[in-house]
Amino acid sequence: MIEAQKGTRDILPGEIARWQLVEAQARATFELYGFREIRTPIFESTELFSRTIGEATDIVSKEMYTFLDRKGRSLTLRPENTAPVARAVIEHQMHRGAGLQRLYYIGPMFRYERPQKGRARQFHQIGVEVFGSEHPAVDAETLEMLMAFLESLGIAGAELAVNSVGCPVCRPAYREALLAYLRPHRDSLCEDCRRRLAENPLRCFDCKVPADQETMSAAPPITESLCAACRDHFARLVALLEALAIRHRIEPRLVRGLDYYRRTSFEVTVPGLGSQNALLGGGRYDGLIRDLGGPDVPGFGFAVGEERLVLSLPAAAAAAEGAPDIYMAAIGEEGVARALVVGRWLRRTGKRIVLEPQPDKSLRAQMRRAHDLGAAFVLIIGESEVREGSVTIRRMADGTQERVAAQRVEGRLREMAGA
């Protein structure tokens, strides 16, 4: 038997309602704030990710699904979607439009990493990107939207942590201060962190090795090395979050795992996600468009793993979604034929109908099936109903039923549903 590959999974009909709930709520919330959906290709030029994410990151060095096409071009299944969206903005000159570009996306990403709770090799992200302003109000409003989105899903215990990771003006001095702290600890660091010392020491903050995490907990915070402009930007952001009454904490050692981030960096955690309780993260990337050959257009955004969102939903979320309004219990061939006609008519009024044409199946068995599906009503069409041009309506909640003329079915269903 051929099975799904490690790190991938089928999302079955019994759980899809929770995914649909998350996606529908994302679209509804983001569009209230002026965001529009964008869809980028699943694979891109490998150079797009190596240039933007950074050669020293684990994503580029260890986790990308990269392959050569038939003409020898190096392509990569997208491990994240900020760089592809930035590429699309440049390619289609969206930055030339009036005002800000507010974009959101929903789709699959790919990383070769160890599968764990809420993380997979093919995973799905919901993300937003804002291009065109470096004002901290963009950061604050987008964070307010994010927390409103999580609240609308009923996700409890979400905690926002914010930091500033500086800019090209102040980061070199911090890099030297961090190296001065880490060099005496070099021999005790893991192999990856020793490599990061030479390539990008800020990546050491991302290490998941407990001993290294303890070492990094005493490292000098980047907030002590910020230039005046970055300090001002961060102070204004914090003031706006407080004005919006958004609960948050300042985490001075919080960095993001991608090299294109500047200034604002943030993370949201929730309990119950296993050893790593981070639900999502993001920040500001003011140099990304320029690094890809476009103009100097600021950007801010975040991405959340949809798998981890679904895991964080309350148990009752979308539990009743997907249940049919009506189950058609058809007896005999003539009953099936009449049920097809009645079902077509009712579907055009917006009713969700299930008809499973098994004319020899007993009414008792069909009623059990309707119960298992969670149908609100059963329409029974047997020999006598066909002969009379009628339908028997059974309300599953209390077992009451009555026979009505076929042309009165829609109106009577509406009356019974409101009873």
| Whole-number pLDDT of residue 117 | 61
Distance CA 338, CA 238 (A): 65
| Whole-number pLDDT of residue 41 | 97
How crowded is residue 144: how many other Cβ atoms within 10 Å of its Cβ?
A: 16
| Whole-number pLDDT of residue 61 | 65
Domains of the chain from N-terminus onward: 13-170+226-312 (3.30.930.10), 326-418 (3.40.50.800)
| Whole-number pLDDT of residue 355 | 92
Task: Name the nearest CA neighbour of 301 among 331, 329, 268, 264.
Answer: 264
Q: Residue 257 in contact with residue 203, Cβ under 8 Å?
A: yes
- The angle formed by the CA atoms of residues 180, 181 and 186, to the nearest 5 degrees, is 95
Residue type, 307: E
pTM: 0.82
| Whole-number pLDDT of residue 6 | 87
| Whole-number pLDDT of residue 258 | 60
| Whole-number pLDDT of residue 256 | 66
| Whole-number pLDDT of residue 168 | 86
Place of tokens 């993380």: 119
Q: Residue 285 in contact with residue 82, Cβ under 8 Å?
A: yes
CA dihedral 67, 69, 74, 76 (to 10 degrees): -50
pLDDT tens digit sequence for 384-414: 999 999 999 999 989 889 998 988 888 888 8
As a whole number, the mean pLDDT across the chain is 87
- Residue 345, SS3 per DSSP: helix
| Whole-number pLDDT of residue 340 | 93
Low-confidence ranges of the chain (pLDDT < 50): none
How crowded is residue 55: how many other Cβ atoms within 10 Å of its Cβ?
A: 12
| Whole-number pLDDT of residue 57 | 60
E strand or H helix that includes residue 147: helix 136-152
pLDDT tens digit sequence for 46-67: 999 888 776 556 666 678 889 8
